[in-house]
Structure 1
Amino acid sequence: MSALRTPPPGTAAASSSTTSQPASASTLAATSPFGPAPTTTASASTGVPYPGTSPGMPVRLGAGRGRVVVRDAVHALEGLNIMGLCKRMFVLLAALAVTMVGGAGAATAAVQPSEQDNSWIVAAHQANLAEIATGKMAQDKGTSAVVKDLGERFVTDHTKLDDSLKTLAGDLNVTLPNEPNAEQKAVAQKLSDTAAGADFDKMWIQQQLAGHAKVMTATQQEIDKGEAAQVKQAAEQALPIIKAHHEALMKAAPNFGVQPSQ
């Protein structure tokens, strides 16, 4: 067995002294990898940064002082976050209010018909009433199959057009008359006074050509100069039907001794 080695004199005493005596603050500051701790402090109530520090630097203070610094920093950040959120919410709410008001104004403006729109709605409605009345008259008094067939077709088509037009007028608060205009009523009266036969058929073709030509012109004007989108759309949907009627009348006119230009 090897002999026990005796430590040199004074070694045990030095070790004992080292382990039993705590290091001083100056000794710890000197040996710290962060260097000496700052010596100035800030008020715990204001949260003002401590001199010698910058964002991201560890705070090397005593345990109690470190907790105060952390608390003040958290409070300051919370205050900034709350203010920032309040500002962002105010901006968002203001933008939303402007958008809602602007959208409501645009929707209101979109449904307001102009004088041109109102005039076309009323004129188209009265033309429909006149075509329905004279179309029924053609079925009753016409002697030509062409006149009877055209009369039936006009009644069907203009009834559908007028149903849509009445719905549109209701949506836009446009008041519609209950009868054709004075000129249209005079034409209907003239046809009513004419006896059934060739004279009636010829007069009917002539009056229908003139009436559809006027309606085509008025409808094209609405498409070109109207302002309310829904009224312009109604005119665009009606125009092909009116043109088809006019073309059928132009084709039939020579058979009744009527010049197409009439």
Structure 2
Amino acid sequence: MRKPLLASALALALLAPSYALAATWPKSGSTATMTRTVRPDATTQNFLDKAWNINNFEIQAGREAQNKANTQEFLDYARRIVRDHTNMDDELKPIVQKDRLNAPNALDKEHQNLLQQLSSTTSARFEERFRTQQIDGHEKAVKLFESYAKTGQNPELKRWAQSAVPMLENHLRDAKALPRATQRSTRAD
């Protein structure tokens, strides 16, 4: 009686680890993959979400300005915004892919609303709204990028954030230098 019980216990002990391991593998025909997914810390995910939204909003807002702005200063600024933020996006993509991070695929509600406000505005009002949005957006962006560059957990995103700060500061400075509607009307006199 003792030998069959011992043999059964030994068989279970040998099979249990392989059963447990097999239970964690994807079943055949399953869409699950064996690649390791990286769940970033909350600070990193928050930064990535906000940075992606800021960057993609700037590209779209810049394109809108290229189509609607009436003055050369705004057109030049818009071209630079689109170019610089497209380059930032190109630098971010390999980091997201390499580290298997989850970047958004559409603008959040806040940035959708800002873009809608911009696209529904015309003429000199457009330029004033664009100017205001650029100042507000770049002030927030500089703070966000500086903060992550100092305290972030992902080394590649930290480097990306740090390298972007001078460009964002230049955009902010240049947005503040864009002529206000009252300045344009007095220059035309």
TM range (shorter): 0.7 to 0.9
Q: Match for residue 138 of structure 1?
A: 65
- Superposed CA RMSD in Å reads 1.7
Q: Distance in 2 between matches of 1:122 and 1:228?
A: 14
Q: 1:257 to 1:216 in 2, by over 3 A?
A: farther
In the TM superposition, what is the alpha-carbon distance from 1:112 to its structure 2 partner? 7.6
Deviation string 1:189-218 (CA, Å, 9 cap, x unpaired) is 0111112x1111111100111111111111
1:182-261 to 2 correspondences below 5 Å? 182-195=109-122, 197-253=123-179, 255-257=180-182
In the TM superposition, what is the alpha-carbon distance from 1:116 to its structure 2 partner? 1.3
Contact preservation (8 Å) 1:212, 1:245: yes
Q: Distance in 2 between matches of 1:200 and 1:167?
A: 35
TM-score, with normalisation over the residues of structure 1?
0.53
Q: 1:257 to 1:183 in 2, by over 3 A?
A: farther
Contact preservation (8 Å) 1:202, 1:257: no
Q: Specify the SS of the correspondent of 2:106.
A: coil
Q: Distance in 1 between matches of 2:104 and 2:157?
A: 18
Aligned-partner residue type, residue 162 of structure 1:
D
Q: Match for residue 19 of structure 2?
A: none
Runs of 4+ in 1 over 6 A off after TM superposition: none
Higher helix share: 2
Contact preservation (8 Å) 2:146, 2:161: yes
Q: Specify the SS of the correspondent of 2:178.
A: helix
Deviation string 1:215-240 (CA, Å, 9 cap, x unpaired) is 11111110122122111111101111
Q: Match for residue 19 of structure 1?
A: none
Gaps of 5+ in 2: 1-37, 184-189
In the TM superposition, what is the alpha-carbon distance from 1:125 to its structure 2 partner? 1.2
Deviation string 1:57-101 (CA, Å, 9 cap, x unpaired) is xxxxxxxxxxxxxxxxxxxxxxxxxxxxxxxxxxxxxxxxxxxxx
Q: Match for residue 176 of structure 1?
A: 103
Q: Match for residue 126 of structure 1?
A: 53
Q: Distance in 1 between matches of 2:103 and 2:40?
A: 14
Contact preservation (8 Å) 2:149, 2:161: yes
In the TM superposition, what is the alpha-carbon distance from 1:114 to its structure 2 partner? 2.8
Q: Specify the SS of the correspondent of 2:107.
A: coil
Q: 1:213 to 1:257 in 2, by over 3 A?
A: farther
Work out which structure has the larger RCO, using CA pairs closer than 8 Å and 6 or more positions apart in sequence.
Answer: 2
Q: Distance in 2 between matches of 1:134 and 1:227?
A: 30
Aligned-partner residue type, residue 135 of structure 2:
L
Aligned-partner residue type, residue 228 of structure 1:
N
Contact preservation (8 Å) 2:39, 2:101: no
TM-score, with normalisation over the residues of structure 2?
0.72
Aligned-partner residue type, residue 181 of structure 2:
F
Q: Match for residue 48 of structure 1?
A: none
